[in-house]
Structure 1
C-alpha cells in the first residue's frame, strides 16, 4: 500500500519545456537576444571580412562565430577576434595544433557532439588559449582527457566519451575550474587526481565503472553526483571534510548497510541525499537539517523514526520535506503514529 502526498512542481519547470520552445532547433540561436538577432546572423560578416563561408559571423555580435550543425568534418579557419566559437553537432574528427593558432582570444569553445578521437587532438592545440573559460567536449570518441588544456578553464564538460582514467596531470593547475562533467565514461579509478581543484563546486562522475569513492575530493564541492557506478561502501568520515556540500546523489550503486559507517550522513548542511536503487536494509541516520531523502527501491524492512529524530519537541524535529521509501518492504502500517511530530514539515512522503 502506498501513502502519497503530492507536492506539485509544475511551476518550477523551465518555460522552454512547458511551452514547447525547447523543440525549436534554432531557439538557442536567437533566444534571449530578440528576433532581430536571428536575421542579423544570416547577413554578411562586416566586422572583419574573414568569416569562413561555412559559418555565420553576425555583425551584431562580431566576436562570435556559429558553425554548428553544418556537416563539417574539419576545423574551419578562426579569425583572431573571436571569443565565442560554436562547432557542436558536426562530424569533426581532429583538432590539429595549427587549427587554434589564431584562436588565442576564445572564451567559449563548443565542440560537443562531434567525432573527435584523442590521438587526433594535437598536444599543443589548446596550449595558447589562455582566456578560455568554457570548453564542451561531451559526446565525442575521446579515450583520455586532452593534454595541455588551458588552466583558465571554469567549466569543462567531457561526458559521454570513452575515458577510462583521470590523472593528476590532466587537471593540474586548473585553479579556476568550478564545474566538471565526467559522467557516462568508462572510468575505473581516479585516485587523488582531483584534489588540487580548489575551486570545484560541481562534480558529476555518474555512469562510470567506479567501485569506490575517489580519494581526496575537493573540499569546496557543493554538488557531488556518483549515480550508476558499482560503489558498495563509503570511507570513514566520507562527508566530514566538506564545508559546503549540499547535494549528494548515489542512486544505482551497490551500497549495503555494512558499507556505510555510522553517522556518515548525519552532517549539517546537506540538503538532498539520493540513495535509491541500492541494497540498504535500514534507513541510515541523517541530520535533522536534511530536506530531501530518496531511498526507494532498496530492501528496507523497518521504518526507524530514530533515523530522523533522536529528540522531538517544539524546536527539535526533522526539516525533511521529501521522503521516498516506495519499492521497499514497508507498508502504511509500519509508520509509527508519532512520525507526524518528527516529520512535521514533510510535503511528500511515499511508502
Structure 2
C-alpha cells in the first residue's frame, strides 16, 4: 500500500510540474496549466494560431505576447466556463464576426496592443457577461453604430491610444451599464457629444492627449451621473464656454497641462457638488477674489506648476469645507490670510517652489508650521537676504517678531496739489509711496468711484493720476490711497475745471473718438462782434483772381485744341456751289422744269 501511494503521489507531482492537464482535458503543447486556479498560460510561446483542444472547464486563458494574426468565427466555441482572456501584444489585424460566440461567462477581455483598424459590427456578439474590455494601443479609426450592442453588462471600456477620427452617434448604444470610459490619445477633433449621450450610467470619463482647442456649450449633455472628468495634455485647449459643463454633477474635475490662462470661473459656477479641482500646469497667473464662492463643497484645489503671481484676498471666501491647497512651483511671493474663509479649516498647504518673501503676510503660516501639513515639503524663504533658503519649520518663536515684519505704507511727497485749468487741458497728479512690502496705489474719484488704468481719467503704472481733456464735471477732490499689509496712507488733491468761452472749441470724447464742438459765449466771457460776411476782403480778392485765371486757362486750351483739329482735316474751302430745282408754280407741274444754281461763301 505504501509503495502504491508513493507511485500515485509521484505521478500527480509530475503532472503538476509539467502542466499536462487540468480537471477536464489535456494542456496544449507549449502551454502551462494550473489545475488549482483553472488557468492555461500560453504567453510568449510564439504561437501563430489559437491552440486546439483547450480544456473546456478552464477559467483563465492567457495568449498574450504571441504572433496571432486572425481570430476566426466562433474561435472559442465550447469554452463555456472561461471568465478571463488575454490577447494583448499580438499582431491581430482581423477579428471575424461572432469570434467570441459561446463565451457567455467571459468577464474580462484584453485585446491591447494589436493591429486592429476596424471592428465589424457583431464581433462582440454573445459577450453578455463582459464587464471589462481593453482595446487600447491599436490602430482603430472609427467606432461604427452598434459596435458594442450586446454588451449590456460592460462597466469599463479602455479605448485609448488609437487612431480614432470618428465615433458614430450610436456606437455606444447598448452600453447602459458602462461606468468608466477612457479615450486617450486619438485624432478626434471634437468631443463626440451625441455618442457620449448614450452612456446614461457613466460616472468616470478620461480624455488625455487630444488636440481639441475649446469646449463648447452643452458638450457633455445628459451625462447626469458623471462624477469624475479628467482632461489632461490638451496643449491647444484655451477656452471653456460658460455652459460647457452645465448639467454635470461632478465631484472631481481635472483640467491640467493645457493652455488655460485664467481660472474658468463661469464654466465652474454650476458645479455645486465639486470637491476636488485640479488646474495644474496651466499658464494661470492669478486666483481672483470672491469668484469661487459657488463651489460650496470644494475641499481641494491643486494648481501646481503654473504662472501664479497672486492669490487675491477673498479668493476662497465662502468655501467652508476647504481643506487642501496645493500651489507649489509657481511665482507666488506671498499668501495672505484674508484669502481664506477660515484658516482654521486648512489642513494641507503646499507653498514649496515659490519665491516667498518672508514678512508679516506669511506670519500666519509660520505660526501654524507645526500644525499644518506641508506634505513633507517645507516652504522656504527667498527674501529678505538674512533668511534666504531657511525653512519655515526652522524658525524659533523668538525670531518671528524680528523676521516676519512689514513697514507700513507712507506717501513720500505730501505737498498740496491743486489745479485750476480750462476744459480740454491734460493734468497729472503725483502719488508716490514706500513701504515693505511695496504699497499698492489706488485712486478714488470725486464721485467716490475706484479709478482704473484705462479711460480718460486713469491711474498710470507708477501711481500717477492722469486726467485727459478735462471737463467741468471732473471738478472735485480726488483721493490717493497707498496700502500694504501693515497699513494705509492717504492723500487728497483738488481739481477745478473752467468752462470754455462761447467762441472757442472744446474736444469731447465719444465712442468714435475725440471731436471738437463750438459753444456760445458764457455770461462771464467777453463778447465778440460777429462778422456779417462769411469771408473777409482779402479772401474775396484771392478767390476772384483765382477764378478768373482758371476761366482764361480753360478758353485758351479750347482754342488750341480747335486749331490742331482743323489742321488735321487738310485745305479748307471758302465757297460752296449748290444745285436746286425750283418748286413748280401753283398752276403748273410736270416734268421739264428748269434747274437753278447758286454759290454760297463760307465764313
Contact 1:320/1:346 (<8 A) preserved: no
Contact 1:321/1:347 (<8 A) preserved: no
Per-residue CA shift, 1:9-64, capped at 9, x if unaligned?
Answer: xxxxxxxxxxxxxxxxxxxxxxxxxxxxxx95744315234221221222223x42
Aligned pair partner of 1:294 in 278, 289, 292: 278
The answer for the alignment partner of 2:78 in structure 1 is: 102
What is the distance in 1 between the residues matched to 2:114 and 2:183? 17
Aligned pair partner of 2:97 in 113, 119, 123: 123
- 1:308 paired with 2:286, answer no
TM-superposed deviation, 1:329: 5.0
The answer for the alignment partner of 1:29 in structure 2 is: none
How many residues in Structure 1 have an aligned counterpart in Structure 2?
303
- 1:247 paired with 2:224, answer no
Classify 1:203/1:70 alpha carbon distance in 2 versus 1 (closer, same or farther; 3 Å): same
The answer for the alignment partner of 1:74 in structure 2 is: 49
SS of the residue corresponding to residue 341 of structure 1 reads coil
Note the residue ranges of structure 2 that are not aligned, 5 or more in a row: 1-14, 310-330, 355-603
What is the distance in 1 between the residues matched to 2:275 and 2:185? 25
Per-residue CA shift, 1:244-297, capped at 9, x if unaligned?
Answer: 32221111122223xx22254477742322211222121023335433322223
SS of the residue corresponding to residue 181 of structure 2 reads strand
TM-superposed deviation, 1:348: 4.8
Per-residue CA shift, 1:173-222, capped at 9, x if unaligned?
Answer: 32111110000001012132225421110000011111111123112211
Classify 1:274/1:128 alpha carbon distance in 2 versus 1 (closer, same or farther; 3 Å): same
Contact 1:265/1:284 (<8 A) preserved: no
- 1:50 paired with 2:26, answer yes
Alignment of 1:15-26 (within 5 A): none
What is the distance in 2 between the residues matched to 1:323 and 1:267? 24
What is the distance in 2 between the residues matched to 1:298 and 1:239? 22
- 1:144 paired with 2:118, answer yes
Classify 1:346/1:115 alpha carbon distance in 2 versus 1 (closer, same or farther; 3 Å): farther
Alignment of 1:144-163 (within 5 A): 144-145=118-119, 147-149=122-124, 150-152=126-128, 153-163=130-140
Contact 2:281/2:303 (<8 A) preserved: no
Which structure's CA Rg is the greater one? 2
The answer for the alignment partner of 2:66 in structure 1 is: 90
The answer for the alignment partner of 2:167 in structure 1 is: 190
What is the distance in 2 between the residues matched to 1:40 and 1:308? 64
In the TM superposition, structure 1's runs of 4+ consecutive aligned residues that sit over 6 Å from their partners are none
TM-superposed deviation, 1:239: 4.4
TM-superposed deviation, 1:171: 1.0
Per-residue CA shift, 1:138-179, capped at 9, x if unaligned?
Answer: 111111125421341221100000001011231123211111
Note the residue ranges of structure 1 that are not aligned, 5 or more in a row: 1-38, 311-315
Classify 1:288/1:336 alpha carbon distance in 2 versus 1 (closer, same or farther; 3 Å): farther
TM-superposed deviation, 1:322: 3.7
RMSD, aligned CA? 2.8
Contact 2:75/2:100 (<8 A) preserved: no
- 1:234 paired with 2:215, answer yes
The answer for the alignment partner of 2:302 in structure 1 is: 323
- 1:112 paired with 2:88, answer yes
The one of the two structures with greater contact order (alpha-carbon pairs below 8 A, sep at least 6) is 1
The answer for the alignment partner of 2:348 in structure 1 is: 347
SS of the residue corresponding to residue 97 of structure 1 reads coil
Give me the TM-score of the superposition, normalised by structure 1: 0.76
SS of the residue corresponding to residue 119 of structure 2 reads coil
What is the distance in 2 between the residues matched to 1:262 and 1:270? 16
Aligned pair partner of 1:278 in 245, 258, 273: 258
Relative to structure 2, which stretch is displaced further, 97-106 or 46-55?
97-106
What is the distance in 2 between the residues matched to 1:111 and 1:292? 37
